[in-house]
Chains A and B, each alone.
Chain A
């Protein structure tokens, strides 16, 4: 076989790992705060209070989602499945009291 001089450079931890871990930290720092989460998977929206972070899942006491039957229970949400979110901060707008009236 011919000498292969192609070089693959790896950095450990990789940028992807750093971003993934930092995202978990964001949620860990937000325990006790209200959160708004959009995911591409059903039921798409979660609004509630962050209770805990377990591994790379965030546990949310969900008050509002698209489906009434799925509200008022704890949901464990995979952090890396979240597409967009907002953890309520002091001095920033509050998450509106969204209610579904369909």
Chain B
């Protein structure tokens, strides 16, 4: 009790100090962010604020066809030495204007009176400098508005543009005819908002597809159990780059074979039809659905050969498919008329397949060789005597270390162009070899190393680093890579989607129930089967939910990614803001609001339905 009473003044002083400190920080924030309401009170600001707000309140969506009546009336500013001429030329039916006095010094006011215009029309009344009545440059801010007789009177101040030549005052009175229709701005906005929505759609689709596999290697609970002996890790590390290189070469060769077959549509079609059939038979033969006895060595090699052949046939089929879709897309693009975009899609899809096939081949071969060698290492370290494995490790691990760091060094060389192989090739290789040697010396040969956690940490770091780069910044890079336009926006948003979704997804994987995982594992299922049967069913609802959330974000992001050249409506919006064309900008803001709100609504409805 006593103690508490003693402590209380200290506590008050402490609280007071903290409050004071908080206030000081806040005050400094005012200084830094230049909080200044003085500006707001100035008349000039208020005037333009009113003007802009009013323009924003009238989005440029509907417009009438307009007819104009333009009258130019000469005026001398200042009055010429020869004296003033009568300005009014009396005409009976045509519209005309009368200026009194007929000439004026700069800064003086004149009265402009218009007759015979159409009733109830409005339009600008402008001073035209120079002696050319068709000059598009005009000065002044006055507006004329006619009454029922087509008559108006406006007092106008002459600008400080003295000239000996004759100058003009122009009245342009406009009136609407016919019924309202969508303005040009509305049409442009429609085009761009469609582009925006599809930009978001493509980015979300690509992002989701690539984020799903990534989320599994970024999930702690799945990766923690992945442990391998050093021999297996080493062999696998060597297998990946080797496999990628081999795969790339082979698939390129298949590509050449495919190119040699030509781009005859009939040949393409035949191969595209036959290849999957061959693959089907190959796979059916080489991968029996269920077997209880271990097949013989010869059988195993035979199967491996058939699988390899099947894969080669598959890649040939892919190349032919690309060629087929490219040529048929080209034909369809013109043949389909308004549905030509389907042809365009086919063409581009074929192109994507053609570009991705060698990459795919490289990765597939890398993965295969990596996992085969890894398994050999696993089996080796289970069966071979300890001393044998130790020797193997002492030889292989330095090689693997040298390979990895050598490749990394080459990447650095490519990025920074250091040009010194001692620094970027031999140095890293030596360091890698040394690190590998140390690892091989100090690990017990049969110990399982937590390689899963290493992969997990690397992936997580990579994701976090990339996630901290805003999509807008990525868009700037991609604009340089693929040019200004929506495609750059798709790439930037897609990449950002991959990294942020992979993080969110992996957290969902980490929070699944462990029971089913254990049960599936107990049936003898391997890792991949466990993921498919125990993990995936559990994560479907949160994945859908997060994908929709991301789709929401992407729609919003795609509206502004155009600010940096990433396509979509942002480009138009920025342009109109810079041109002070606030009514058009308002139309685009309205479009964005409508799209974002409806996407919000749709996604919430879908989420309720499926999750």
| A and B bind | no
Residues of chain A whose beta carbon lies under 8 Å from any beta carbon of chain B:
none
Residues of chain B whose beta carbon lies under 8 Å from any beta carbon of chain A:
none
